[in-house]
Chain A
Amino acid sequence: MKKFFKSGDPYVWLTASSLTICLLMVCGLITLIMIKGLGIFWPHTIVHFHLKDGTTVLGEVSKKEPIPYEKDGYRTKLKIGNRDIYGLDFRWIDDDKIVSLEYPADAVAIERREWGNMYGFLQGIIGKNGRIEAIQQDGAKGFINENKKLFKKIRQLEKKEIGGINYQMEKKRIIVKQLQSLPPSDIVQKKMNGVKMKIDALEKMYHEKETLLSNLYQKAREKEFIIRLAGGEEKILPVFQVVRMYTPNSMHVFAKTGFYLTKFWEFIADEPREANTEGGIFPAIFGTVMMVFIMSIAVVPLGVLTAVYLKEYAGDNFISRIVRISVNNLAGVPSIVFGVFGLGFFIYLIGGTIDNVFFKSSLPSPTFGTGGILWASLTLALLTVPVVVVSTEEGLSSVPGSIREGSYALGATKFETLWRVVLPQAAPGILTGTILAMARAAGEVAPLMITGVVKLAPSLPIDHHFPFLHLERKFMHLGFHIYDVGFQSPNVEAAIPMVYTTTLALLFSVLVLNITAIIVRNKLRKKYRMSSV
Chain B
Amino acid sequence: MKKKPNPVVNITDLKLYYGNNLALNGINLDISEKMITAFIGPSGCGKSTLIRCLNRMNDLIEGVRIEGSIKIAGKDIYDPSVNVTELRKRVGMVFQKPNPFPKTIYENVVYGPRVLGVKKKNALDDICEKALIKAALWNEVKDRLHFSALELSGGQQQRVCIARAIAMEPEIVLLDEPCSALDPIATAKIEDMLVELKKDYTVVIVTHNMQQAARVSDYTGFFMMGELVEYDDTTELFTKPKKQRTEDYITGRFG
Minimal beta-carbon separation of A447 from chain B (angstroms): 39
The answer to whether A218 has its CB under 8 Å from any CB of chain B is no
- With both beta carbons as reference points, the residue of chain A lying nearest to B108 in the complex is identified as A406
Measured between alpha carbons, how far is A139 from B234 in the docked complex, in Å? 107
Knowing A416-B115, A421-B101, A529-B102 touch, does A402 contact B95 (C-beta < 8 A)?
yes
Q: How far is the CB of A266 from chain B (nearest CB, A)?
A: 48
- B-side contacts of A531, CB under 8 Å: 98-100, 102, 150, 157
Q: How far is the CA of A424 from the CA of B57 in the complex (A)?
A: 23
* Closest Cβ–Cβ distance, residue A234 to chain B (whole Å): 77
Q: Mark B86-98, 1 if CB is under 8 A from A, else 0.
A: 1111001101011
Q: Return 9 A-B CB contacts under 8 Å, by A number.
A: A403-B101, A405-B95, A406-B164, A410-B89, A411-B168, A416-B115, A420-B111, A527-B102, A531-B98
User: Would you call A413 an interface residue if the criterion is a C-beta within 8 Å of the partner chain's C-beta atoms?
Assistant: yes
Flag if A406 contacts B95 (CB, 8 Å). Answer: yes
Contact of B111 among A410, A424, A529 (CB under 8 A): A410
- Per the bound structure, the CA–CA distance linking A406 and B88 in Å amounts to 11
Leading 5 A-B pairs by shortest Cβ distance: A411-B89, A409-B93, A402-B99, A410-B112, A411-B88
Give A430 Cβ to nearest chain B Cβ, in Å.
Answer: 15
A412 to B84, CA, bound (A): 10
In the complex, which residues of chain A have a beta carbon less than 8 angstroms from the beta carbon of B88? 408-411
Chain B contacts for A533, CB-based, 8 A: 97-98, 153-154, 157, 181
A409/B55 contact (C-beta < 8 A), A416-B115, A532-B150, A533-B181 known: yes
Given contacts A531-B150, A531-B157, contact A407 B85 (CB under 8 A): no
Q: Are A411 and B181 CB-contacts (below 8 A) given A406-B161, A529-B150?
A: no
| B35 contacts chain A at the CB level, 8 A cutoff | no
B165 within 8 A of A: yes
A409 and B57 contact, CB distance less than 8 A: yes
A411 to chain B: which residues have CB within 8 Å? 85-89, 112, 115-116, 168
Q: Is A103 in contact with chain B by the CB < 8 A criterion?
A: no
CA distance A455 to B214 in the complex (A): 82
Inter-chain CA distance A421–B150, complex, in Å, is 14
Check B112–A402 contact: CB distance below 8 A.
no
Consensus secondary structure, chain B interface? helix
A490 in the interface (beta carbon within 8 A): no
Contact A410 B57 (CB under 8 A): no
- Residues of B within 8 Å of A528, CB to CB, are 102
- 1/0 per residue, CB under 8 A from A, across B65-105: the answer is 00000000000000000000111110011010111111000
A532 to B55, CA, bound (A): 28
A407 CA / B88 CA spacing, docked (Å): 10
The answer to whether A406 touches B115, judged by C-beta atoms less than 8 angstroms apart, is no
A530 within 8 A of B: yes
Is B185 part of the binding interface, using a Cβ–Cβ cutoff of 8 Å? Answer: no
Q: State whether the Cβ of B60 lies closer than 8 Å to any Cβ in chain A.
A: yes
Residue of B nearest to A424 (CB): B102
Q: Are B115 and A400 in contact (CB under 8 A)?
A: no
The answer to whether A410 and B115 have CB atoms under 8 Å apart is: yes
Residues of chain B lying within 8 A (CB to CB) of residue A420: 101, 111, 114-115
Contact with A along B112-123 (1 / 0, CB 8 A): 101110000000
* B101 and A406 contacting across the interface, CB-CB below 8 Å: yes
The interface residues of chain A lying within 8 Å CB-to-CB of B89 are: 410-411
Contact of A408 among B57, B100, B157 (CB under 8 A): B57
Once the chains are docked, how many angstroms separate the CA of A531 from the CA of B153? 10
Interface of chain A residues 506 through 533 with chain B (CB within 8 A): 527-533
**Nearest Cβ on chain A to B19's Cβ, whole angstroms:** 16
Q: Inter-chain contact count A-B, CB under 8 Å?
A: 80
Residue of B nearest to A411 (CB): B89
Residue A425 at the chain B interface, CB threshold 8 Å: yes
CB distance A407 to B111 under 8 Å? yes
A-side contacts of B99, CB under 8 Å: 400, 402-403, 405-406, 531
- A530 CA to B111 CA in the complex, in Å? 18
| In the complex, chain B residues whose CB is within 8 Å of the CB of A410 | 88-89, 92, 111-112, 115, 164-165, 168
Q: Which of B85, B97, B101 contacts A413 (CB 8 A)?
A: B85
Count chain B CB atoms within 10 A of each CB in A408, A529, A533 and give the residue with the most.
A533
Give a binary string over B153-172; 1 marks a CB under 8 Å from any A CB, 0 the rest.
11001000100110010000
Question: In the assembly, what is the distance between CA of A410 and CA of B116, in Å?
Answer: 10
Selected contact of B92 from candidates A400, A409, A527, A529, CB within 8 Å:
A409
Residues of A contacting B153 in the complex (Cβ-Cβ under 8 angstroms): 533
* Central interface residue in B57, B89, B92, B115, by most chain A CB within 10 Å: B115
The CA of A412 and the CA of B60, in the complex, are separated in Å by 13
Give the distance to chain A from B252, nearest Cβ to Cβ, in Å.
29
Bound CA span A411–B116, Å: 8
B59 nearest CB neighbor, chain A only: A408
CA separation between A408 and B58, bound complex, in Å?
11
Collect the chain A residues with CB atoms within 8 Å of residue B115's CB.
410-412, 416, 420
Q: Is the CB of B150 within 8 A of A412?
A: no
Instruction: Give, as a whole number of angstroms, the nearest-CB distance from B51 to chain A.
Output: 11
Q: Which residue of B lies closest to A400 (CB)?
A: B99
Q: Is the CB of B85 within 8 A of A412?
A: yes
A-chain residues with CB within 8 Å of residue B148 when the two chains form the complex: 527
User: B165 to A409, Cβ gap below 8 A?
Assistant: yes
Bound Cα distance from A406 to B96, whole angstroms: 11
A406: chain B residues within 8 A (beta carbon): 95, 99-101, 161, 164
- Please, how many angstroms separate the alpha-carbon atoms of A412 and B98 in the complex? 18
Residue on B nearest A404 in the bound complex, by CB:
B60
**Which residue on A lies nearest to B155, using beta carbons?**
A533
Q: How far is the CB of B217 from chain A (nearest CB, A)?
A: 21
Decide yes or no: A425 and B102 within 8 Å by CB, A408-B88, A412-B85 being known contacts. yes
The one of A405, A408, A416, A530 that contacts B102, using a Cβ cutoff of 8 Å: A530
- Give the CA-CA distance A410 to B153 in the complex, in Å: 22
Q: Cα distance A47–B100 when bound, in Å?
A: 74
Residues of B within 8 A of A421 (CB): 101
CB-defined contacts of A413 to chain B, threshold 8 Å:
85
Taking the closest CB of chain A, its distance from the CB of B89, in whole angstroms, is: 4
Which residues of A are found within 8 Å of B165, using beta-carbon distances? Answer: 409-410
Residues from chain B with a CB closer than 8 A to the CB of A409 are 55, 57, 88, 92-93, 95, 165
| Alpha-carbon distance A162/B88, docked complex (angstroms) | 70
Which chain B residue has the least Cβ–Cβ distance from A526?
B148
B92 contacts across to A, CB distance below 8 A:
409-410
The complex places the Cα of A413 from the Cα of B97 at a distance, in Å, of 22
Distance between Cα atoms of A409 and B88 in the complex (Å): 6
CB distance from A408 to the nearest CB of B (A): 7
A-chain residues with CB within 8 Å of residue B168 when the two chains form the complex:
410-411
Q: Which residue of B lies closest to A422 (CB)?
A: B101
- B205 shortest CB reach to chain A, Å: 15
Q: Give the distance in Å from the alpha carbon of A344 to the alpha carbon of B131 in the complex.
A: 60
Beyond the given A405-B95, A409-B92, A412-B111, please list 4 additional residue pairs across the A-B interface where CB-CB is below 8 A: A409-B93, A410-B112, A529-B102, A533-B97
Chain A minimum-CB-distance residue to B85: A411
Q: How far is the CA of A425 from the CA of B100 in the complex (A)?
A: 12
The CA of A416 and the CA of B117, in the complex, are separated in Å by 12
